[in-house]
Amino acid sequence: MALPRSENSPSPARHPSSMRFFVATLCAAVALGFASGCESHRSAHSEPSTDDGQNLDRLEARRLGEAGAPLPPRAEVIALVQKVADAAAHEGAGARAAQLYAISARLAERIWRIEGHDEDAARALDLYKSAAVDPKLAGACESARAAASLAGERAHDAAITYAELYRVERRFAAAAPKASPPQACLQGIGADLLLLASFRPAQSVLDSIDQALEGEGTVGIDPVDSGARLAGGPSRLVRVDVWPGDDAARVVVSLDQPASYRVADEVASGGSSAQTFVDLDGVDLGAGSHELAESGILRGVHAEATRTGSRVVLDLPGHAWRHVFAMPEPFRIIIDVARRPPGAQTHAPREVARVVIDPGHGGRDTGAVGPTGIVEKDVTLDIAHRAAGVLLAQGLEILLTRDDDRFVALEERAARANAFSADLFVSIHCNASEGKARHGVETYVLDASRDEIAARVAARENEMTPTASAELAQMLGGLRLADQSRHSTQFAHLLQRSATTAIRMRYGEASEGGVHFAGFYVLVGARMPSALFETSYISNPVEEQRLGSVEYRQLLADAVVNAIRAYREGR
Ligand SMILES: [Zn+2]
């Protein structure tokens, strides 16, 4: 059970060259008059500055803050962060100070992602917050959003990401009467919050955020289902936007003027269906279609004319939780619906004290190999070490089925988990396919195989021919326990969701491969809920490159940590 932390585990070669940094610092010296010949470097960025050296620091910091730029040694990066932060402090307040703070924050965040020193994350958070002090300034919302994500990642806790993003959304929406609201940023945060719905903290936590903001005097809107607002005159419904999901959804009703609104619900007898109405007094429905058929928790959304104005109707599958509030400029009413009230104790915590993490393959069994030679067994071990370190720190008992590069038979892995009396078993792998284009995250649960893709993946992980693997799947019927299978499926969905959410927030999109069922030998006979996590396709060049990076492995490890936490909370 010895668990060395991830620093010793295999990691990819990174920033092999500091040459570009030397060129730029040399030119900084040149600009101060020590030599000549860097004009092209300078004229490419002709922004007004009283200090060319400072300007070059800023440009260099911005370049190094971008993903993929090779970084010089940490000490040089930290010195540059400090220089740009000092320049920001010298500017005092205003747009330029905010910009300098944001540049230095991004660079500090990047060196944290690569080298993992917590003090760099703390520094980045401080700098982002300095960049976001004045909500009226361009980029302030983006800096606050970056700080929120970073705070959650630093704590390996998606609930913290949620709470911090929520705080940013409320703060910037509330500041809107005085500042033009950063629409794209707020929409992005809205989408993030929807993705993170499974990790939403208790309502009391969010209430305390609202209260703290009100205490600061920044909230200009009522944060609860308040109903009436002062009407600003005849108003028209501009459009209705819908972000549907299985467990939660958001409907945004945009009006061209503020209007008063009232919320009401109706639940069918027996509770098999429900409707939430938002009545908009004096609001003209306008032209166009207002019938929106949706999926998941939203069975339908439509807008209709009423005697007093307009009404937006949400059709829901029985009892649901809803939260309706307004945001100004442009005035819009936001209707959040979810299957469960946030933080409600409808889900009993599950006892999870011992977790087995199974890094796939090892020793002579390399697993799949990517186009540039990255090997599955190395990636899985590193992710397992990263996840185990965080889980240990959270007080869980962790067993790794292997702690180094050695061969462990598939049947031995479940046997060890049983001997350890584990409450949960997670097997970590990289997917592979003959077609290089195939990509995405998939999670598997042990079952008689139900689809062909799942059967193929199972055959590869089982090191069997597809025929033999299919036979194994057929034999599994008698081995499964209904309750265990249900818990495995719940955990698999949490794992799938936490991984795709994290990837989508970091990379803008994620290929959602879904939860599948197949006969995985490694899971056979495990007496606890179990899932096999196919993190990404190592056969896909883009995903292979990601799997080779420290930050992507940490992201996947955090996805495992967040899924285990959500599972323990009974979600
Ligand atoms: Zn594998």
Interval 261-288: pLDDT, tens: 777 777 776 667 788 888 887 888 876 5
The tokens for 117 are 């020193």
Alpha-carbon distances of 392 from 321, 384, 398, 491, 501, rounded to whole Å: 35, 12, 7, 19, 24
Distance (Å, whole) CA 558 – CA 153: 8
Closest to 564 (Cα-Cα) out of 156, 7, 151, 118: 156
pLDDT digits (tens, 9 = 90+) for 407-465: 998 878 888 888 888 899 999 999 999 989 999 999 998 876 556 667 777 777 877 77
216 has a pLDDT exceeding 50: no
How far away, in angstroms, is 428 Cα from ligand 1 center? Answer: 7
How far apart (Å, rounded) are the C-alpha atoms in residues 100 and 186? 22
Distance 51 CA to ligand 1 centre (A): 55
Give the amino acid at 389. Answer: G
How far is the centre of ligand 1, averaged over its atoms, from the C-alpha of 360 (Å)?
5
Average pLDDT over residues 147-156: 89
Distance 461 CA to ligand 1 centre (A): 5
Least confident segment among 46-55, 220-229, 299-308, 371-380: 220-229
- Model pTM? 0.59
Q: Are 231 and 310 in contact (CB under 8 A)?
A: no
Q: Provide the pLDDT for residue 436.
A: 92
DSSP 8-21: GS---------HHH
**Which residue in the block uniquely carries the two structure tokens 């698999």?**
492
> DSSP characters for 332-367?
EEEEEEESS-TT-TTSPPP---EEEEEE--BTTB--
The whole-chain average pLDDT of the chain stands at: 78
Please tell me the distance between residue 260's alpha carbon and the centre of ligand 1 in angstroms: 57
Classify strands 332-338 and 321-327 as parallel, antiparallel or unpaired. antiparallel
Question: How many Å lie between the centroid of ligand 1 and the Cα of residue 482?
Answer: 26
The span from the CA of 97 to the CA of 88, in Å, is: 4
**pLDDT score recorded for residue 289:** 54
Q: What is the pLDDT of residues 165-196, one digit of tens each?
A: 998 998 888 776 666 778 889 888 988 898 88
**What distance in Å separates the CA atoms of residue 526 and residue 532, rounded to the nearest whole number?**
12
Reduced to 3 states, what is the DSSP secondary structure of residue 31? helix
Please spell the DSSP secondary structure of 386-449, one letter per residue: HHHHHHHHTT-EEEES-SSS----HHHHHHHHHHTT-SEEEEEEEE--SSTT---EEEEEESS-
Q: What is the Å distance from ligand 1's center to 569 Cα?
A: 29
Q: Which helix (H) or strand (E) holds 381?
A: helix 376-393
